[in-house]
Amino acid sequence: MNPLIQLKNITFKAQNKTILDIPEFQINAGEFLGIMGPNGAGKSTLLKVVSFLEQQTSGEILYLGQVIPIGNAPIELRRKFSIALQQSLLLDGTVFHNIAIGLTLRKISKAVINEKVEYWMELFGISHLAKKNALYLSGGEAQRVNLARAMIVEPEILFLDEPFSALDFPTKIKLMEDFKGIIETAQTTAVYVSHDLMEINYLTNRLAIIVNGEVKQSGPTPRVLEHPNSSTSSFLNEWKKFYPLAR
Amino acid sequence: MLRKRYFAVLFAFMLLILSACGNTETKDAVAKEKKPAPKAAPTEMILATTTSTQDSGLLDVLIPMFEKENNVKVKTIAVGTGQALEMGTKGEADVLLVHAPASEKAVVDAGDAINYKRVMYNDFILVGPKDNPAGVSGDDIKAAFKKLADSKATFVSRGDDSGTHKKELGIWTADNIKPAGDWYVSTGQGMGQTLQVAAEKKGYVLTDRATWLAQEKNLDTLQIVVEGGKDLMNIYHVMQVNPEKHDKINSKDAEKFVEFMVNSKTQDVIESFGKKEYGQSLFYKYTE
Amino acid sequence: MELLIDGLKKAIEMILSGDQEVYAITWLTLKVCLISILISTLIGLPFGIFLGLTRFKGRRILLLFINIGMGLPPVVAGLWITMLLWRSGPLGDLSLLYSPTAIVMAQILVSLPIVTSLTCTAFQQISDKMLLQIKALGATKFQTFIILIKQLKIAILAAIMAGFGRVIAEVGAAMMVGGNILGDTRILTTTIVMEVSKGNFDIALALSFILLSVALLITAALTFLQQRKRIS
């Protein structure tokens, strides 16, 4: 295993309540890691902490074996990561402008930006939207722009927080299919937070289950889903009633 | 990329403003640098005076003359006589040109003002509605005021502690009348506005002749009803603020200004001012 | 009605004839107002953004005072500045009273709360998630600031326009701290007051048309910037 990011004794507290308490956790290069758990388990907080968007209360985060001081991740490090959330949160401007923004912020030359935006719009099938205002898109279109915006910077790790959950079912299926192909071709390491077993099962190859801020079980996705332990079975079995596993 | 261009416009706009801002600064800087040069930058002097001298246009003639002769920048603050005197007592002005002898005397006696010189006079007049409901006339202002109070004819007062207001109050006091009631309107404004109010309300009003002449054209419901009495003399004095009592007083230019106001050349200018336009002088020579 | 037409005629006459005094007064008005609103924007914008995006103890009290400041009567602002600048006052050594700088100071005092408060209101509506997303896109603090300004351009320009409207309409403070000195601190509004008190209604009216034109021009420019064609 080749850990990109390691967490050691991480806690996160808000208003004296412990949201996260994780003695040991890591993200490996090349994996598609799922983080699953019931609502309020601390999944989203974990995502923000490992992507250096929020600072942990205590503990260490290591990037390639090197300790990154709390709340002091250099901008160069943050720029190695991308994030796509449930809401697309696009800016008032064209689709082109929205997708380009990560590169614009990194002061990439115009020619390169044009080329890359064309490429990623093509991949996500949104080239025809380039000149439209991003605020007037449908939910599916907006989420495609959101994902293209995150992918265009070719992140070392792509963090995703339920990016498909607000979409209607057919749109979701189509986008997930496209997305899976894109991420496999680009060989991007991805961390995927969701409470949806179907999505997790379809996309991820390793899975960590979080309950009450603690990682209760982790391992290859099929194995975890098939053999829940005593702490995770009640949560997973609820899901399995609706989604008989077929992989 | 259209958006970018708009921001460029916005940016250019801001730059323009900034440069305008910068200009004044460099101008100031240049002015400062010039100080040691033979042609010195003008010194500044604050003249506190009454609205009547400004509104009549007299100062627009006199001040440029004085500025040119003495390389000084005069900042003319036209306010009521009461406020002008107060500015003197506070040391916020260098020289005063006002017209309320009784109040002036107090300021001079207190040592706040020195070099007190009589400059010019014109006269107060009582104007009233053309139909003259109170039937006042002649040159006896005290008798006229009594009649106004008795008939409760509308009277419009400045009520702003100005020289004219002080004059009016002096007449009421001499008559032993305390003006009050619906008929007595206090505007708290300058002479011009007060005349306007009088014209609208068809009231009587005490005014200086200069302002009346300048504004007569807008006041077709009013006419002069009482004029010419000895009590109606409106005397202007100039004085400098005592530099020993306050810091930062420009007494050098203030002294020059007092001299300027009473010298014969200026006096001629004062007396000839307005003759062309109104067919009579607005102010008359009156030095000691 | 006749006076209105006369005034309009006179205004056009003044502009066309190149009346030096009117030009000087108009230019000074423009300069003073633009400098005031520029400074108010340079201070009020970052301050409003800060207040809109952060939460700290005493913030609400501070906001309350700023909102009260929006209604600060210009004469009150004028009085404060006058007392500050008196020869005997704390800043008396600068001898700024009765100078254009004094007018600028008073105008900043009345427009700063407007710019700050309206900016704050706009930025308060930005969600934490949006801030997080912008940060996650790889924006530095400064870049985030720029992105937000661009996103809220409409609201920001509205704040600036409101401040400008206050400043160009203001007369009480300019009269008090400026003194309406010819060639120095005489601006359009104070000239109008003076001409009215002189009884020169035609000139006052003409000047009012010039003032309105200036206000219209600036506001139109800002509105144009604000309402640029939106991409649909």
Mean pLDDT of C73-93: 91
Nearest CA in chain C to B57: C198
Q: What's the number of domains chain C is made of?
A: 1
Disruptive mutation site among A105, A154, A162 for chain C (greatest number of C CBs within 10 Å): A105
| Fold annotation for B43-121+234-285 | D-Maltodextrin-Binding Protein; domain 2 (3.40.190)
Q: Is residue C166 part of a domain?
A: yes
Does the structure show a pLDDT above 90 at B42?
no
Q: How confident is the model at residue A240 (pLDDT cuts 50, 70, 90)?
A: confident
Nearest CA in chain C to A100: C137
Does the structure show a pLDDT above 60 at B206?
yes
Disruptive mutation site among A55, A91, A133 for chain C (greatest number of C CBs within 10 Å): A91
Phi, psi (deg, nearest 5) at residue C5? -65, -40
Nearest CA in chain C to B43: C95
Nearest CA in chain C to B248: C87
Give chain C's mean pLDDT: 91
- Asked whether the beta carbons of A79 and A21 are under 8 A apart, the reply is no
Q: Decide if B218 and C201 are in contact by the 8 Å CB cutoff.
A: yes
Does the structure show a pLDDT above 90 at C34?
yes
Q: How confident is the model at residue B32 (pLDDT cuts 50, 70, 90)?
A: very low
| C228: helix, strand or coil | coil
Does the structure show a pLDDT above 90 at B149?
yes
Enclosing H/E stretch for B212: helix B209-215
Mean pLDDT of C146-172: 93
Q: Decide if B77 and C150 are in contact by the 8 Å CB cutoff.
A: no
Q: Is residue C6 part of a domain?
A: yes
Q: Decide if C221 and B13 are in contact by the 8 Å CB cutoff.
A: yes
Does the structure show a pLDDT above 60 at C58?
yes
Give one DSSP letter per residue of chain B, joined into a string.
-HHHHHHHHHHHHHHHHHHHHHHHHHHHHHHHHHTTSSSPPPEEEEEEEEHHHHHTTHHHHHHHHHHHHHTEEEEEEEE-HHHHHHHHHHT--SEEEE--HHHHHHHHHTTSEEEEEEEEEEEEEEEEETT-TT---SS-HHHHHHHHHHHT--EEE--SS-HHHHHHHHHHHHHT----STTEEE--S-HHHHHHHHHHHT-EEEEEHHHHHHHGGG-TTEEEEE---GGGEEEEEEEEE-TTTSTT--HHHHHHHHHHHHSHHHHHHHHHTTHHHHSS-SSEE---
Stated length of chain A: 247
A219: left (phi over 0), alpha (psi -120 to 50) or beta: left
Q: Which domain holds residue C66?
A: 2-226
Interface A:C, Cβ pairs < 8 A: 51
- Asked whether the beta carbons of B55 and C197 are under 8 A apart, the reply is yes
Q: Decide if C198 and B192 are in contact by the 8 Å CB cutoff.
A: yes
| pLDDT confidence of residue B25 | 39
Topology alike, domains B43-121+234-285 and B122-232: yes
- Give the separation between CA B87 and CA B91, rounded to whole angstroms: 6
| pLDDT confidence of residue B20 | 44
pTM for this entry: 0.79
Does the structure show a pLDDT above 80 at B19?
no
Of B21, B51, B92, the CB nearest to C35: B21
Give chain B's mean pLDDT: 85
- Give the separation between CA B283 and CA B258, rounded to whole angstroms: 17
Q: Which residue has the higher pLDDT, C106 or C230?
A: C106
| A132: helix, strand or coil | coil
Q: How many Cα atoms are found within 13 Å in the side-chain-facing hemisphere of A187?
A: 2
User: Right CATH number for B122-232 from 1.10.3720.10, 3.40.50.970, 3.50.50.60, 3.40.190.10?
Assistant: 3.40.190.10
| pLDDT confidence of residue C12 | 85
Q: Which segment of A33-37, A186-190, B10-14, B171-175 scores lowest on mean pLDDT?
A: B10-14
Report the range out of B37-51, C16-30, C218-232 with the highest average pLDDT. C16-30
Q: Which segment of A152-161, B3-12, B199-208, C84-93 scores lowest on mean pLDDT?
A: B3-12
Enclosing H/E stretch for C144: helix C141-151
Beta bridge partners of A82: A158
Which of B266, B244, B248 has its CA nearest to residue B256?
Answer: B266
Q: Is residue C185 part of a domain?
A: yes
Look up the CATH number of the domain holding residue C203. 1.10.3720.10
Q: Which domain holds residue A111?
A: 88-154
Please give the C-alpha separations between residue B287 and each of B235, B271, C48, in angstroms, as whole numbers.
Answer: 10, 12, 61
Per-residue pLDDT of B222-241, as tens digits, reads 999 999 988 899 999 999 99
Mean pLDDT of C86-102: 89
Q: Is residue C232 part of a domain?
A: no
Q: What's the number of domains chain A is made of?
A: 1
- Asked whether the beta carbons of A33 and A208 are under 8 A apart, the reply is yes
Of C129, C138, C147, the CB nearest to A85: C129
What ipTM was assigned to the predicted interfaces of this complex?
0.89
| pLDDT confidence of residue A155 | 95
Q: Is residue C74 part of a domain?
A: yes
Q: How confident is the model at residue B18 (pLDDT cuts 50, 70, 90)?
A: very low
- Give the separation between CA A179 and CA A143, rounded to whole angstroms: 11
Tokens encoding B100:
């309320």
Does the structure show a pLDDT above 80 at C100?
yes
The owner of tokens 């912020």 is A105
Of A48, A102, A132, the CB nearest to C137: A102
- Give the separation between CA B246 and CA B111, rounded to whole angstroms: 11
CA B274 to chain centre: 16
- Give the separation between CA A114 and CA A63, rounded to whole angstroms: 31
Q: How confident is the model at residue C229 (pLDDT cuts 50, 70, 90)?
A: low
Q: Is residue C142 part of a domain?
A: yes
Give one DSSP letter per residue of C43-92, joined into a string.
HHHHHHHHHHH---TTHHHHHHHHHHHHT--HHHHHHHHHHHHSTTSTTG
Q: Is residue A144 part of a domain?
A: yes
Chain A neighbours (≥3 Cβ pairs under 8 A) are C
Which of B243, B232, B174 has its CA nearest to residue B207?
Answer: B232
Q: Which residue has the higher pLDDT, A1 or B253?
A: B253
Does the structure show a pLDDT above 90 at C196?
no
Disruptive mutation site among B51, B212, B248 for chain C (greatest number of C CBs within 10 Å): B248
- Asked whether the beta carbons of B153 and B170 are under 8 A apart, the reply is no
- Chain C interface includes A131 (CB < 8 A): yes
Q: Is residue A240 part of a domain?
A: no
- Give the separation between CA A235 and CA A245, rounded to whole angstroms: 15
| pLDDT confidence of residue C20 | 87
3-state secondary structure C183-200: CCCCCHHHHHHHHHHHCC
| pLDDT confidence of residue B39 | 59
B215 vs chain C: nearest CA distance in angstroms?
5
| pLDDT confidence of residue C4 | 83
B117 vs chain C: nearest CA distance in angstroms?
25
Query: Measured on CA atoms in the order C134, C140, C141, C147, is the torsion positive or negative?
Result: negative
- Asked whether the beta carbons of B122 and B208 are under 8 A apart, the reply is yes
Beta bridge partners of A58: A11
Does the structure show a pLDDT above 90 at A91?
yes
Q: Decide if C228 and B17 are in contact by the 8 Å CB cutoff.
A: no
**Domain ranges across chain B:** 43-121+234-285, 122-232
Question: In this structure, what DSSP letter does residue C230 have?
Answer: P
Mean pLDDT of B171-180: 93
Does the structure show a pLDDT above 50 at B29?
no
| A170: helix, strand or coil | helix
Q: Which segment of A55-64, A75-84, B1-10, B197-206 scores lowest on mean pLDDT?
A: B1-10
| pLDDT confidence of residue B7 | 47
Q: Is residue C162 part of a domain?
A: yes
Which of B137, B138, B97 has its CA nearest to residue B119?
Answer: B97
